[in-house]
Structure 1
Amino acid sequence: MNRLVKTALLAGAAWGALSGVAMAQDAASPGQATDPQASELGEIIVTARRREEALQDVPVAVTAISGETLEARGTVDITELARSTPSLTLNSARGSNSTLISFIRGVGQQDPLWGFDPGVGLYIDDVYVARPQAAVLDVFDVERIEVLRGPQGTLYGRNTIGGAIKYVTRRIGDEPEIELQGAYGSYDQFDAIASISGPINDNFGISAAVARYLRDGFGENLNTGTEHYNKDVTAARLSFEWTPTDNLFVRLAGDWVQDSSNARHGHREFAPILDNEYDTMAGAGDKNDVETRGVSLTGEWTVNDWLTLKSITAYRDGSTRGNIDFDNLAAPILDIPAQYDDDQFSQEFQALFEGDRWSGVAGVYFLDATASGAFDTVVGNFNLTTLTAGSVDTQSWSVFGDFTYDVTDALAVSVGGRFTHDEKTGTVFRQQYLGIRSPFFGNNAAVPLGGPRTDYTDTRDFEEFTPRVSVSYEISPDFTTYASWGRGFKSGGFDMRGDAVLYPDTVLGYDPETVETIELGLKGNLFDRLSFATAIFDSSYEDQQITTQYPAGATVASVVDNVGSSSIRGWEFEGSLRVSQNLVVNGMLSYIDAQFDEFLAYIPTGPLNTTCPTQPGCFVDVSDLRDFQNTPEWTGAVSATWTHWFADGSEIAFTPSAAYRGDYQQFETPAPLLDQEAFWLYDASVVWTSASDRWTVGLHGKNLSDERYKTGGYNFPGVATGDSITAFYGAPRTFTARVGVKF
């Protein structure tokens, strides 16, 4: 109750002031004309609660960005959403070009290893993407992207305790359309996108899109002469839509991504240090190949005025083959060749209800997924290789419902809940060999060193009920406030790196983690000029799953465990102000105070360990020595779009922008050479659009100040590992010219 009272008091002043402004607006300017070009949150339709609703009416903190806006900004992929969305961190994973690392409000996943679930759910057209590999989605053929902040355990289920990202592709329109786009930019960037969409007859349509992305590296592998941080990606989408009757809709859609960009090895932050942050001297190999495919079948049947039935059937699979050179030197001091494979089948049935004063959705969900892989930890100084291999099979089913009742014209109450049952079977194998690389990765001469350090198969069941309650009140036609309480959970599992010799309890696996969040929000429109949404939240994070990796003799050990609990509080604001007919200013600001209340770190036994010298190891509370990773205290952004209309009806829009991220750590433990200080990123776009909207020409500049900022890293100091302290950097300053035409 104390937490709720504190949160309510914190919100009181702001809510009272804004509510007063709302009443004053209604009284002072009842006849004020509405600018037809004004940005109004109430006009934006989203599906955050699995049904179409005006954004202003949704009692959830949601950022919705249209495809047109993303295109006008020159957005390359979804990681750029972090520049304009409150409390969001999106990066390519360390050592990867296309594996997604995502955090919302301090909750997420730094470890993309198979079997370790994300904390932010990614959805492509309502299909859950279980693995982060190839999830750095390039932006093309997209209608909008929605970012839902806070636990979404009721409607989106397991592994959405931080929130969810919904990538919504375009539906087929009533008229045929062909669209071509070409771009050329810095580092010999070349992009080509082609799409065709339209009806074949009165009830059948087809859409197809293909994209090719090429770019030279920002740096070079000075050991092999190949490009480093380059891009070589091909992506395609195909969909068929059939409407045999007015109340029946069927959509068959498929997508495919091939990423053949070179392996990304990072940059040494400890001697020897290369001058260019994008250069490397890695010798592990530059080959890298990532492929993912998906197909889905969606059916909607409008039974009557109050009931619609929906089915979503989907299958996805993917594979990754690559190398990461942790030491960034030619010799195999600490090299990691790796491969990942995954597949998933999911089936969801929904019933959507709509009455005079009530609405809602209920359904069932099933997921059958397998994630597997293998990698070598090559420690060349000891002529030693540790092979780690295994898989996790997951069968998950759930039942859910969420219903809203309008008590009065202004007051609405929503109640929802979801029950989830997970069955996970984990297989983990860990074996050391004398030699450089194991037989699994081609060295048949490698000699096993003793018996397996880990070799087990186990099955565990996890069950959880995740409810949500919200109350929303329409202060005036332009203002809505809400209060909500929700719960989410991330499933437990097995540590795929676990070494049973160093940590015997690894065979027991780890438990689920949960987040409970209280949120108060206000959305509205002031004087038909300022559209805004603001929220404060207070989260209780329990049984957090933390991966800790540390050098252990001549190898690298791992512990994944439920380390304890934490408290996360914060405030978010985003808004759009129309200053004049020609000028619109957009901005966001977010604050997060994330503190560990308990952090039980595993302390291995050893001759220098006085904490637990006679045990295999023990846990010690080190919460005062740990901080949240990938969670800056402050983030903010501001942009302004100035538009000029020519006499012939064409227009030109200039959009400069600035995004701020406070300092943050790469891991819970401070790493001075890897942790990132606060920085700004400056972008600018100029886009000309013809009067017919047929032609567009744009020039986009990114990171105009050429800021060097770290997005990830590895921290393995010591002689045995070659002081492998390596960092990965965001893109440098780039310019791109883009031309598009529609037929």
Structure 2
Amino acid sequence: MASRAIRIGSLAGVSLIAAMAVQGAASAQTAAPAGADTAPAASAASTPAPVATPAERPRERTVPAGAPSGDILVTARRRSETVQKVPLAISVLDARAIDATGSFNVLKLTQIQPSLQFYSTNPRNTTVNIRGLGQPFGLINDGIEPGVGFYIDQVYYARPGSATFDFLDIDRVEVLRGPQGTLYGKNTTAGAISITLKEPSFTPEGQVEVSAGNLGFVQGKASVSGPLSDTVAVRIGASVTKRDGTIHNITTNADVNSQDNLGVRGTLLFKPTSDFKLTLSGDYNRQNPDCCVQIYVRTGATQRPLNRQFAGLAAAFNYAPPSTDAFDRVTDLDATLRAKQTIGGVSLKAEWDVGPGTLTSVSAWRFWDWKPSNDRDFTGLPITTVSQNPSHQNQYTQEFRYAGTSGPIDYVGGLYGFYQKIDTTGSQVQGPAASRWLLNPTSANASNPAVLNGLTSLNDIHFKNTSLAAFGQVTWHVTDRLRLQPGLRVNYDKKTGSYVATVINGQGVTINCAPPLTSGSALADQCATLPPQSYNPKFSDWNVSGDFTASFDVARDVLAYATYAKSFKSGGINLSGLPLDANNQPILSSGSVKPESVNHYEVGLKTQFLDRRVTFNVAGFWTDVKNYQATVTNGQLGVIRGYLANAGKVRTRGVELDASFRPTSQLSLYASGAFTDAKYVKFVDAPCPPELAGGTAVTAGQTPSAPGTPGGRSPLACDISGQWLPGVSRWAGSHGGEYRIPAKLFGDSEIFFGYDGSYRSKFSSNPSRSAYTDIAGYYLANIRTGIRVNRTWELYGWVRNVFDKNYYEVLATQSGNTGLVVGQPADPRTYGATVKARF
């Protein structure tokens, strides 16, 4: 019924839009000229964005009188306003800064956004975090939602894989740090990334961009826009990116971890009057690279007996990895590799100036198809020969929002509905090496390949998610300098799922693992390796999010603010298999996880001086999360992706700085930094790190063995309270700038040189911190130099990772506590050239 209500709401939105079009509105206002076209700046704090014309602005408070044309306009509070007047930690990059810094996707943004973390072992398993919070670090579980909202033109994208695609026809990117639960949904407990695309233009225009570089890199982007009539304009854009792989697979003689992206987008704008406009958008995106592999990095001692750790197991097969130096970039994986995903959809947005404000309706449908194939044993041995979970998702969203001004009050309120359905049919198949690798060598079955060879788990997984909300936020201008801003959001969430794993042995017979099982039998070993499971988890709950912000203009260009936010992240359900009890039966109590409850405190100061040539912003924050949703590693081999659990409490706190400086018209500089102290405050029953796992379980009165003791005793769980949260560095920073020299080579031209540097300190790459999976800190440098002519075309060369720094994006461990550590080496030094023309 709820999903039907959302669909009916979407149709209602379309009907309302049609009615608006029929009724028309007041006569058009004369459009003011857009802001001056300034030279690109790499700074997230002061990159100029186009200034909205009066016809484009909601009827709220406009840009302050006397504000320079270069002021950045954002819509972080669902209304257009200058970024320095928004009491929120927010970074903004416009299209010119994105192009100049080579930030053509979210991964590249992390090099100039210190508080943003992005990790992706493949498009499905993509994590986007802010200040260390957002998505549990590790393999993705469909039963929970990310804590960083990802929006494109006000449409929520539920799939984290959306963030792996190339930017196309971008106007600006806003990174909102800290909980955004009032206006962006209950699940934005860490922040939101809001991307605004370029609108169709009634003045003909276009842009073409082509890049080429080493590793066979080729990227092309093109867009064109113009009027179809006095009231209708269109914009069409397309992009393609191809690049050879950075890792050579000697088994297939192919280079893997390549890039193969395609994107197209079309937008139709209907604007019969200055008070009403209707925007219809559609997009299709496809990725089909030879991807994604993680390769041998090192081994570390676990509690398993020596002959069951990696070195002993490999010796039994007379096996050695092709290299023990991951930066040789070779592998011998023998399973089929595929990482194909397609994402697309249609949205319809109506904006109608009516009464003292603007009524907005946003209706959208989106789909996601995922067709993977992986080598989950990370070796050239036929242990796990097939590992894949193809999925298909549909989502529907509908938002109604009204924003306006009445006297000293600015306000926004609305209704929101979301429905999502995911269907997954996956499989995991064991090969002829599985018995020896996975079973205890003392078992007679370990020397019998037939016991596990061909053992197949067929997974049928379904998920439905409905969310409904009402929200509102008010800004009371108590005086010309003091503002108070309360906000509230009421949410209802319902999740239902089904997980059925049917297991067939190598003879094609469906196995039954109901107790009692004969210890040491082939059936018992098969059930311990790929256990059949069937369960139907569910979750439903109401929650209330709210925030309160006080802001004060200390001086004309100095804003101080303080915020308290109470936010929630919806509870979830486990859809990747459950841990087993002593009888190899799923532990049903692990079928769901509680909602996260967030208390957030923040103070900030936003300043500009020296005639606004210097911008310096600072924010301090403290965020407590109760019942933090963690993806935990499971030592049992049959659980493909780990499972979800609640950590009692985590905390992240820190300080962020953003600065930019334009000492002359020829030089632009920027610097950003973040200190983030993110840790588990209380997680007493966490899975143990690999050095404490794999041994005989301790019983009453026994003491666990020292870490890495072969054949030792392992605790049933570990207290990791006080340890770092995974994926976040304590120190991160970025800096750079661009210097421009006027020239007369081809008319009105300039020669430019740009530099961008970034640093991240050491961070943990395992949910329970391990000595084997810490990633060392690293510094990266990118440079570019070229010529711009008449602001219509430019040609420049670029080098990324100038010093060819070897570093890992992620590290992980092989399941079963063998001690094998695998990783994903980041891109080596790349270089190339770009030519761009505007008309």
TM over 0.5, shorter chain:
yes
Partners of 1:374 and 1:388 within 8 A in 2: yes
Matched, 1:668 2:696: no
Matched, 1:488 2:567: yes
Match of 1:394 in 2: 465
Cα distance, 1:475–1:612 mapped onto 2, change above 3 Å: farther
AA matched with 1:524: T
Match of 2:89 in 1: 61
Cα distance, 1:603–1:263 mapped onto 2, change above 3 Å: closer
AA matched with 2:126: L
Matched, 1:588 2:693: no
Give the counterpart of 1:514 among 583, 588, 597.
Answer: 597
Q: Please state whether the residue corresponding to 2:802 is helix, strand or coil.
A: coil
* 1:25-104 paired onto structure 2 within 5 Å: 39=46, 43-91=71-119, 93-94=120-121, 96-97=122-123, 100-104=126-130
Give the counterpart of 1:229 among 247, 251, 257.
Answer: 257
Match of 1:505 in 2: 588
Partners of 1:603 and 1:618 within 8 A in 2: no
TM (norm. structure 1) is 0.88
Matched, 1:698 2:796: yes
Match of 1:736 in 2: 832
Matched, 1:220 2:291: no
Match of 2:13 in 1: none
Q: Please state whether the residue corresponding to 1:155 is helix, strand or coil.
A: helix
Partners of 1:120 and 1:165 within 8 A in 2: yes
Matched, 1:416 2:479: no
1:240 Cα offset (Å): 0.2
Cα distance, 1:241–1:352 mapped onto 2, change above 3 Å: same
Match of 1:22 in 2: none
Q: CA RMSD in A?
A: 2.6
Cα distance, 1:258–1:216 mapped onto 2, change above 3 Å: same
Q: Deviations over 1:568-589 (max 9, x none)?
A: 2100001101233322210001
AA matched with 2:513: G
Matched, 1:656 2:755: yes
Instruction: Please identify, of 400-409 and 40-49, the stretch whose mean Cα deviation from structure 2 is larger.
Output: 40-49
Q: Please state whether the residue corresponding to 2:762 is helix, strand or coil.
A: coil
Counterpart Cα distance in 2 of 1:406 and 1:324: 56
Matched, 1:644 2:741: yes
Q: Please state whether the residue corresponding to 1:139 is helix, strand or coil.
A: coil
Partners of 2:292 and 2:338 within 8 A in 1: no
AA matched with 1:705: F
1:504 Cα offset (Å): 1.4
Partners of 2:590 and 2:645 within 8 A in 1: no
Q: Please state whether the residue corresponding to 2:573 is helix, strand or coil.
A: coil
Matched, 1:106 2:132: yes
Match of 2:333 in 1: 282
Matched, 1:171 2:268: no
Cα distance, 1:459–1:688 mapped onto 2, change above 3 Å: same
Match of 2:316 in 1: none
AA matched with 2:825: Y
Counterpart Cα distance in 2 of 1:219 and 1:35: 42
Q: Please state whether the residue corresponding to 2:97 is helix, strand or coil.
A: helix
Counterpart Cα distance in 2 of 1:459 and 1:66: 42
Match of 1:457 in 2: 536
* 1:292-691 paired onto structure 2 within 5 Å: 292-304=343-355, 306-334=356-384, 335-380=386-431, 381-382=434-435, 383=452, 384-435=455-506, 445=508, 447-450=510-513, 453-499=532-578, 501-502=580-581, 504-506=587-589, 508-528=591-611, 529-552=613-636, 558-601=642-685, 608-610=697-699, 622-624=719-721, 626-647=723-744, 648-691=747-790
Partners of 1:333 and 1:722 within 8 A in 2: no
Instruction: Please identify, of 146-155 and 681-690, the stretch whose mean Cα deviation from structure 2 is larger.
Output: 681-690
1:333 Cα offset (Å): 1.8
Larger radius of gyration: 2
Counterpart Cα distance in 2 of 1:589 and 1:120: 20
Q: Please state whether the residue corresponding to 1:349 is helix, strand or coil.
A: strand
1:556 Cα offset (Å): 5.5
Counterpart Cα distance in 2 of 1:547 and 1:667: 10
Instruction: Please identify, of 155-164 and 141-150, the stretch whose mean Cα deviation from structure 2 is larger.
Output: 155-164
1:555 Cα offset (Å): 6.0
Partners of 2:424 and 2:461 within 8 A in 1: yes
Give the counterpart of 1:180 among 188, 208, 221.
Answer: 208
Partners of 1:375 and 1:387 within 8 A in 2: yes
Cα distance, 1:134–1:333 mapped onto 2, change above 3 Å: farther
Counterpart Cα distance in 2 of 1:86 and 1:461: 36
Counterpart Cα distance in 1 of 2:488 and 2:81: 20
Matched, 1:251 2:279: yes
Counterpart Cα distance in 2 of 1:467 and 1:490: 13
* 1:130-279 paired onto structure 2 within 5 Å: 130-270=158-298, 272=321, 273-275=323-325, 277=327, 278-279=329-330
Counterpart Cα distance in 1 of 2:155 and 2:630: 27
AA matched with 1:504: I
Q: Deviations over 1:462-496 (max 9, x none)?
A: 21100010010001111111001112221112111
Partners of 1:119 and 1:159 within 8 A in 2: yes
Q: Deviations over 1:27-84 (max 9, x none)?
A: xxxxxxx998795887111111111111111111000000111111222312111111
Cα distance, 1:636–1:329 mapped onto 2, change above 3 Å: same
Cα distance, 1:207–1:98 mapped onto 2, change above 3 Å: farther
Counterpart Cα distance in 2 of 1:555 and 1:665: 23
More strand, by proportion: 1
Partners of 1:393 and 1:425 within 8 A in 2: yes
Instruction: Please identify, of 556-565 and 580-589, the stretch whose mean Cα deviation from structure 2 is larger.
Output: 556-565
1:675 Cα offset (Å): 2.1
Counterpart Cα distance in 2 of 1:128 and 1:409: 35
Partners of 1:134 and 1:290 within 8 A in 2: no
Partners of 1:671 and 1:715 within 8 A in 2: no
Counterpart Cα distance in 1 of 2:700 and 2:532: 25
1:387 Cα offset (Å): 4.0
AA matched with 2:832: T
Instruction: Please identify, of 143-152 and 496-505, the stretch whose mean Cα deviation from structure 2 is larger.
Output: 496-505
AA matched with 1:688: I
1:602 Cα offset (Å): 5.1
Instruction: Please identify, of 500-509 and 667-676, the stretch whose mean Cα deviation from structure 2 is larger.
Output: 500-509
Partners of 2:633 and 2:767 within 8 A in 1: no
Q: Please state whether the residue corresponding to 1:448 is helix, strand or coil.
A: coil
Partners of 2:633 and 2:687 within 8 A in 1: no
Q: Please state whether the residue corresponding to 1:689 is helix, strand or coil.
A: strand
Counterpart Cα distance in 2 of 1:590 and 1:112: 27
Counterpart Cα distance in 2 of 1:468 and 1:631: 26
Counterpart Cα distance in 2 of 1:80 and 1:557: 27
Cα distance, 1:433–1:195 mapped onto 2, change above 3 Å: same
Q: Deviations over 1:118-172 (max 9, x none)?
A: 1111001110111112431312310000000001111111221111001111112
Q: Deviations over 1:439-462 (max 9, x none)?
A: xxxxx9364353664212243212
Counterpart Cα distance in 1 of 2:638 and 2:345: 41
Counterpart Cα distance in 1 of 2:163 and 2:180: 20
AA matched with 2:778: F
Cα distance, 1:429–1:246 mapped onto 2, change above 3 Å: same
1:182 Cα offset (Å): 0.9
Counterpart Cα distance in 1 of 2:84 and 2:203: 31
Counterpart Cα distance in 1 of 2:184 and 2:536: 29
AA matched with 1:654: F
AA matched with 1:712: V
Counterpart Cα distance in 1 of 2:143 and 2:549: 33
Q: Deviations over 1:490-534 (max 9, x none)?
A: 111211123263351345411111221110011111212311211
Counterpart Cα distance in 2 of 1:713 and 1:734: 22
AA matched with 2:769: P
Partners of 1:586 and 1:639 within 8 A in 2: yes
Cα distance, 1:717–1:320 mapped onto 2, change above 3 Å: closer
Counterpart Cα distance in 2 of 1:53 and 1:156: 17
Partners of 1:411 and 1:473 within 8 A in 2: yes
| Gap regions ≥5 residues in structure 1 | 1-33, 436-443
Pairs aligned (count)? 693
